[in-house]
A and B are shown apart, each in its own frame.
Chain A
Amino acid sequence: MSNKYETFIGLEIHIHLEANTKMFCGCKAQYGDEPNTNICPVCMGYPGVLPMVNEKAMELGYKVARALNCKLSKNTFFERKNYFYPDMPKNYQISQFEEPVGVDGWMDFDTPEGTKKIRIHDVHLEEDAGKMIHAGDMSLCDYNRAGYPLLEIVTEPDIKTPEDTELFLRNFQRMVRYMGVSDGNMDEGSMKCDANISINLVGKGLGTKVELKNMNSPRFVRKGLSYEEERQADMLDQGKALTQETRLWNENRDQTEVMRTKEEAEDYRYFPEPDLPIFRPDQTFFDLVESGLVELPLTRKHRMMEEYKLSADQAEYIHDDLYLADYFEEAVKLGGDSVQLFAWLSSDVKKLLNRENLSLQDSPLTASWLTELLELISSEAISGKIAKKVLDFVFSDKKSPKTIVEEKGMSQVSDPAVLTAAVDKVMAANPDVVEAIKGGDNKQRGFLMGQLMKETGGKAAPVPLQKILAEKLG
């Protein structure tokens, strides 16, 4: 986009909270069950029922708000957001408006240009709607998801580019995964992200806001925003006015399409939910929130760079997945060299995992076994080349590297007596080659080394072997 314009992007992120039950009733919060099995009079909006807040969801909501550096509410409450749509049998959604669990926070994330800060407007709890399938002239409703505990995180329009938006979302996903509050999977619908974007001449402030929906991965959020940025710039270049509207990303056509134009502002007529008392957290609750805080991904990444001398890219790779990050640190504690560990984890181990279609978690290679393998190399018990074979056997035989090396006799031979005997034998068998080398034809040395490796079954330690050979050749 031409640098005449400035872009402002804000996000509304929804995450399904890791809870056993729904937000306001004891129904199972679970995917994939038969339609309309996890329902009860509360989530089906029957008259006279009494919703009650799930304490786990409340705790997770505060934890996220705390991790996002928000001011935490001392008296949070719920409101009814009124709208008519059959995905919600009550004709309102219980949400938060006046006094959400947290407001005025911020989150840092890394970009190639350095760390950037995004302000968080608020973090609030609410319930998800049911799932609808539209087919022909009928619509099908499944209310298993109606009432599912949701947390919505609203950012200020602080993000400047679609690329940064994707990076921010990946950072955010990692954060909720590290915290164990949500699995953050966008393609499975446990995390959703709507974006709003406006562009304007540099220095003129926010432009006309367009909302974007229907993007089910951080990559699609970026693509949708890029498309929209270009479209809006073209409109402005042609002197056309932009319309405040909601658009849908169409991933098959790689474009955004109008969903609805906002002629009048939506009027949800929020009012306090009379059935749910105000929640005033006490010190014990705040202590619980504090005690559940974990080292967040970005902090961990920066610490790993510092502590293990990893580059930004290396630390980015290792910290991306919580299990990998823990595994790496465990291996370092066991004595593994951090750079070697990174090298193996990001290449040979990764290749094997892909080939076997396994996650590191499910593979037989524990952190201590990987460390053991690296020790075998550094102590010259095996060569790096043999180590790759050993790794293969660890996966197929599910035995430790040491056991495999012993059982299969794969250790290097560095005993001088054995090596000298081999050198003598090979030299005796190839007198003309020996003569040629002695006459100055150094190219033939490679041939002798090859013969020696054959003789020792590839197990001769190359360094002492070369030394002995050099001595013999004079």
Chain B
Amino acid sequence: MDTKELYHTASLARLELDEKEAEKLSREVSQMLEYFNHMLELDVSNLEPTTHALMKNNRLRRDVVAEQTVDPDEMLENAPDLEDRFVLIPNVL
């Protein structure tokens, strides 16, 4: 994988890479992509993609309000900062 593509991929995942890391990863990622290329050689045109190997049946939930098993207040305690009941973060607009 060329470095430009690697930096793009990293930025999509919000990862910061320095030059040394980029050089190392570029080699490793290229190797991984080669493995995938082997798989791509197989003809799977008549197969339905296996997106979910273990879940064969429909699974829907009834539209009924569930009891709260975790207190929302407790979850809010994990927030970096609060104002009234809002989660407060640096402006992202």
Question: Does the CB pair A54–B60 fall under 8 Å?
Answer: yes
Find chain A residues with CB under 8 A from B83 CB.
138, 140
Is there an interface contact between B56 and A86, defined as CB atoms closer than 8 Å?
no
Is there an interface contact between A35 and B52, defined as CB atoms closer than 8 Å? Answer: no
Judged by a CB distance under 8 angstroms, whether B59 is at the interface is: yes
B87-A134 in contact (CB<8A): no
Residues in A neighbouring B55, C-beta threshold 8 A = 277-278
B88 with A40: CB separation less than 8 A? no
B66 at the A interface (CB under 8 A): yes
A84: chain B residues at CB < 8 Å are 14
Contact B58 A279 (CB under 8 A): yes
Q: A53-B61, A269-B12, A277-B58 are in contact. Are A138 and B88 (CB under 8 A)?
A: yes
Q: B57 interface residue, CB < 8 Å from A?
A: yes
Q: What is the distance, in angstroms, from B16's C-beta to the closest C-beta of chain A?
A: 14
Whether the Cβ atoms of A137 and B90 lie closer than 8 Å is yes
Residues of A within 8 A of B90 (CB): 137-139
Of A44, A82, A134, A267, which one neighbours B75 at CB under 8 angstroms? A44
Question: With a CB–CB cut-off of 8 A, which chain A residues contact B93?
Answer: 134, 139
Determine whether the beta carbon of A25 is less than 8 Å from that of B88.
no
B65 contacts partner chain A, Cβ-Cβ < 8 Å? yes
Q: How far is it, in angstroms, between the C-alpha of A44 and the C-alpha of B78 when the chains are bound?
A: 11
Quick one: which of B52, B60, B86 contacts A140, CB cutoff 8 A? B86
B residues contacting the other copy or chain, number (CB 8 A): 34
Q: Which residue of B lies closest to A135 (CB)?
A: B91
Contacting residues, chain B, for A278 (C-beta < 8 A): 51-52, 55
Chain A, range 113-142, C-beta contacts under 8 Å to B: 132-142
Q: Chain A's interface: helix, strand, loop or mixed, by majority?
A: loop
- What is the CB-to-nearest-CB distance from B56 to chain A, in angstroms, rounded to a whole number? 7
Contact among B57, B63, B86 with A19 in the assembled complex (CB-CB below 8 Å) = B63
Q: Known A85-B92, A272-B52, A278-B52; judge A36-B86 contact (CB<8 A).
A: yes
In chain B, positions 15-37 with a C-beta closer than 8 Å to chain A are none
**What is the CB-to-nearest-CB distance from B17 to chain A, in angstroms, rounded to a whole number?**
17
Residue of A36, A137, A280 with most chain B CB atoms under a 10 A cut-off: A36
Instruction: Give A contacts to B, CB under 8 Å.
Output: 19-21, 25-28, 34-41, 44, 52-58, 77, 82, 84-86, 132-143, 267, 269, 272, 274, 276-282
29 example contacts (A-B, Cβ-Cβ < 8 A) are as follows A19-B63, A20-B65, A21-B61, A27-B66, A34-B85, A35-B84, A35-B85, A39-B75, A40-B66, A40-B72, A41-B75, A52-B59, A52-B60, A54-B63, A55-B61, A56-B63, A57-B63, A133-B86, A137-B91, A139-B91, A140-B83, A140-B86, A140-B87, A141-B89, A267-B12, A272-B52, A277-B58, A278-B51, A281-B58
